[in-house]
Structure 1
Amino acid sequence: MAFFGFKDFDRLSEVDLNIYRFFTANVDKVPYLRVRDIAREAHVSNSSVMRFIHKLGYDSFPEFKVSFRAEQQQAHPTNHQINFVTDQNFPTDIYEKIELVADRMQQADQVIFCAMGSSGALAEYAARQAAAVGFNAICVKDPFYPLVNQLKNTSDNLLIALSVSGKTIELLELLNNFINNEDVTLVAITAEPSSQVALMSRYVLGYSVPQQRIAKYYDLTTQVPALYLTEQLISTARRLAVQAGDHLI
């Protein structure tokens, strides 16, 4: 019972052969069509399509579609890999940079993860993870959050900005308040190491990834490399803190 291996063409009528030719010409489309869609596009009746399916040895159309899709994948295997993060995503000195930022994080009185849009969800996760292991960490996703006032009488703050493009206007305006502030050290985690966010920062944890946007405003770029960097940063800072005798979790 197979479509691609079918050889008994003598059993097929001219109508059956038309349906067969339609299937072979639309291999990628067939698994997503209904019987009436196939009938309409192949210029045959619904019952003709079902008779053809039964001649192939299938009891139902759903059974045929599942088998067709499986055969298609075996005949044309894809080259998908589960390598979400590889060395190619990062500069060669990335771990040295992580150590530098982690050392600064271990010494900071407060760590602020700051981001807008889809990066904001990652900033929130990073702040939660950092707080979970004992760091005084918060997340700022609101461009109008009064961070300047909150940090006015504080010192030794580490502000980590996450931005794929490094061009988010609201984030740039927020960071601009701290460029010349000696009590705030700016760090950028970005896919654009030459972007304005990176240029404003003392340390840059850069990565490379194809950027994807739809309808101009919706960023579909993967956050996996940035997630990897934040987790490496937090785990490294925790290790340094433990080595220094700090009582973290």
Structure 2
Amino acid sequence: MGFFGFKNFDQLTETELTIYRFVANDIEKTAYMRVRDIAKEAHVSNTSVMRFVHKLGFNSFTEFKVSLHSAKLDQQKEQSDQSLSLHFIMKENFPQDIYEKLMVVADKIINADMVIYVGMGSSAALAEYASRQTAAIGINSFCIKDPFYPLSAQLQNTTNNVLITFSVSGRTPEIIGLLNDFVNNIDNTLVSITGNLESSLAKMCHYNLSYKTNEERIHHFYDMTTQVPATYLIENLLLRVRHLLQ
């Protein structure tokens, strides 16, 4: 569809198509041009411009200009919408072997005695959601949102646990401190879901489900970074767990 909603291009002459292409190529500029300016720039006559305007269904050049301004605003809005659109779930945002890693972790989960999800801030909400969904499919699970929770003491006499930690940066000191007790414990498998594969969290975990995203903060410390990639990973992981349990 053309920028005026015009569709019948076969009704336009070669000269009129030349004018149409000239206008469509830079609506923002031509919205402020006069008849003779368009004619000069498009290398056609003033009469050809007015014939083109009338053929498009406008009664006057002024009415045509109003439509141009409207088309310009629509174009700007479309460009703005595209800049704000979601581009998180794309192949380029994840490692090439992400689905193989998801399958390995899914297998660890179905063979675990307990699955513990860990997170702070917005990651805590995601950890809580993941724990609830895991419990719903019949797997022992709980969530840790308090980094000072005595998790090490609680798991002291347990074996075969999977700890899945959510952290965009992978650098949160409290989270690192919480997991540090389990790094050399063979009874616990550590998994990170993080946007930073080079982080301390990723390096201390046995398996990393990573993704690429830009960290965003407002007022210096409010984290506004999207959790869509992490949500996608946990949904995909639990889908694989359900298939393995069938």
For normalisation by structure 2, the TM-score amounts to 0.68
* 2:149 matches 1:145: yes
1:85 pairs with 77, 89, 96, which one? 89
Report 1:211-222 matches (<5 A).
211-222=215-226
Q: Which residue of 1 aligns with 2:170?
A: 166
Runs of at least 5 residues in structure 2 that lack an aligned partner in the other structure? 1-27, 34-68
Alignment deviations for residues 192-225 of structure 1 (CA, whole Å, 9 cap, x no partner) = 0110000100000010011111233211110000
- Counting only pairs closer than 5 Å after superposition, residues 203-218 of structure 1 correspond to structure 2 as 203-218=207-222
For 1:6-52, what per-residue CA distance to the aligned partner results, in whole angstroms no more than 9, with x for missing partners?
Answer: 99xxxxxxxxxxxxxxxxxxxxxxxxxxxxxxxxxxxxxxxxxxxxx
| Unmatched tracts of structure 1, length 5 or more | 8-68, 243-249
The CA distance in 1 between the partners of 2:167 and 2:158, in whole Å, is 25
Which residue of structure 2 aligns with residue 200 of structure 1? 204
Relative to structure 1, the CA distance from residue 226 to residue 73 in structure 2 (aligned partners, 3 Å threshold; closer, same or farther) is farther
The aligned amino acid for 2:109 is M
The reply on whether 1:106 has 2:82 as its aligned counterpart is no
2:125 to 109, 116, 121: 121
| SS class of match (2:118) | strand
How do 1:20-39 and structure 2 match up within 5 A?
none
Change (3 A) 1:72 1:205: same
Is 1:74 aligned to 2:74, yes or no?
yes
Aligned length, in residue pairs: 183
- Following superposition, the deviation at residue 136 of structure 1 comes to 0.8
CA shift in 2, pair 1:199/1:75, >3 Å: closer
Tell me the percent identity: 49
Deviation at 1:118, TM superposition (A): 1.3
TM-score normalised by L of structure 1:
0.67
| Aligned residues: CA RMSD | 2.5
Residue equivalent to 1:241: 245
CA distance in 1, matches of 2:92, 2:143: 29
Q: Which aligned runs of 4 or more in structure 1 are off by greater than 3 angstroms?
A: 4-7, 69-73, 80-84
Please state whether the residue corresponding to 1:205 is helix, strand or coil. strand
Q: 1:75 to 1:193 in 2, by over 3 A?
A: closer
Q: Report the CA distance shift for 1:195/1:70 in structure 2 as closer, same or farther (over 3 A).
A: farther
Supply the AA of the counterpart residue of 1:113.
Y
Which position in structure 2 is the counterpart of 1:180?
184
The verdict on how the C-alpha distance between 1:71 and 1:130 changes in structure 2, with shifts beyond 3 A counting, is same
Paired residue secondary structure (1:187): strand
One-letter identity of the residue aligned with 1:208: K
How far 1:229 sits from its partner (Å)?
0.4
- The 8 Å contact of residues 88 and 213 in structure 2, kept in 1 or not, is answered as no
Alignment of 1:154 with 2:158, yes or no, is yes
TM-superposed CA distance for 1:75, in Å, is: 3.5
C-alpha displacement at 1:237, in angstroms? 1.4
